[in-house]
Amino acid sequence: MTTQELHVVVGASGGTGTALVRELHAAGLHVRAVHRAGDMAAPYGVEVVAADATDATGMRAACAGAAVVYNCINPPFRSWRELFPPALDGVLAGAGAAGAVHVFADDTWMYGRVHGPMTEDTPYRPVSAKGTLRAWLAERVLAAHHRGEVRTVIGRAGELYGPRVESLLGRNVIGAALKGGTARWVGRPDVAITPMFVDDFARALVVLGKETGSHGAVWHVPHAEPLTGREFVRLAFEAAGTRPRMTTHGSVTARALGLISALAREGAEMIYQFEAPFVVEGSRFAREFGAIPTPHVEAIRSTLDWYRDHPGPLRLGV
């Protein structure tokens, strides 16, 4: 790719979107950050555009001239059914009109409860409404490619953490470690998981956008080595220089917390991912394109540094 190509990031204010903007900008590429309100902070030289992903006409204008469009839209949980389908259609329309590659940032919720590491061949057996919607969205992305409407590729990762990422590993664990508080772990703390550092995810999505051999398929991005929740908590507190303390919550408690917290209520159906081993296998990507994931201790330190500089609540947008 040349530095003249335009890379458009839709949903640029979230964790994955901001990581992509940073990565692309650092590579000297022309970057357009699309944010619903259009008032997000961005590195010098990044073009910030206001557009609503659910508006296909607006998306065609926002994506005009793009070589690659990165789809990082992530509506609030409570609005997924209402907003995700039209937002996906809008971004696909924008990428298609531009003749751009559409890179879809995806999760692993469509697999449901698994037995063994998840690969690209793991069947979709969602056990939650959000997992079912994720499966449908992924099929829609690939169908657009195979119909010849737009070149697409899907990058898939497990539970994210890092700067600007709202997840169970964020303020519940890393934020608590920084303050010397008590980490709140949802699920069983002694089963294997593969958390994904958001900067690694962003780098992998950039690779998928430029590698033509990746298009029309799903790719699991390589994660750092599996570890348990208890080990992750220990690493976070050690990196923060505070004494590890942790309390655990099962699905029943999480649903009870939903009475007072919309996030807990909406996310309770996903706790199965932390109640049994949930390991994402990314060797196919590594064989084809190479990858060296950031070690957890280094990624955690980077996340702690960001939390030190941003102690307040996050301000996100689609």
93, two tokens: 């329309």
With a pLDDT cut of 90, the percent of the chain lying above it is 81
Are β-strands 151-156 and 47-50 bridged in parallel, bridged antiparallel, or unpaired?
unpaired
Mean pLDDT of the 85-106 span: 98
Q: Output the average pLDDT for the chain.
A: 91
Count the neighbouring beta carbons within 10 Å of the beta carbon of residue 210: 15
With a pLDDT cut of 70, the percent of the chain lying above it is 91
Q: Which domains are delineated in the chain?
A: 6-163+195-223+280-287 (3.40.50.720)
pLDDT of amino acid 314: 52
pLDDT of amino acid 313: 58
**Cα–Cα distance list, 284 to 212, 255, 295 (Å):** 15, 37, 19
Q: Which residues contact 106 (CB under 8 A, 6 or more apart)?
A: 134, 137, 138, 154, 155, 156, 157, 218
Instruction: Say which amino acid occupies 268.
Output: A
Contact 269, 255 (CB under 8 A): no
Contact 217, 302 (CB under 8 A): no
pLDDT in tens, 102-143: 999 999 999 999 999 999 999 999 999 999 999 999 999 999
Residue 265, pLDDT > 70, answer no
Residue 159, pLDDT > 90, answer yes
Q: Nearest Cα to 151, choosing from 204, 212, 62, 203?
A: 212
Count the neighbouring beta carbons within 10 Å of the beta carbon of residue 308: 10
**Positive or negative: CA dihedral 257, 251, 197, 136:** negative
Residue 2, pLDDT > 90, answer no
Residue 22, pLDDT > 60, answer yes
Residue 255, pLDDT > 80, answer no
Q: How far apart are CA 140 and CA 135, in angstroms?
A: 9
| Strand-pair partners of 47 | 32
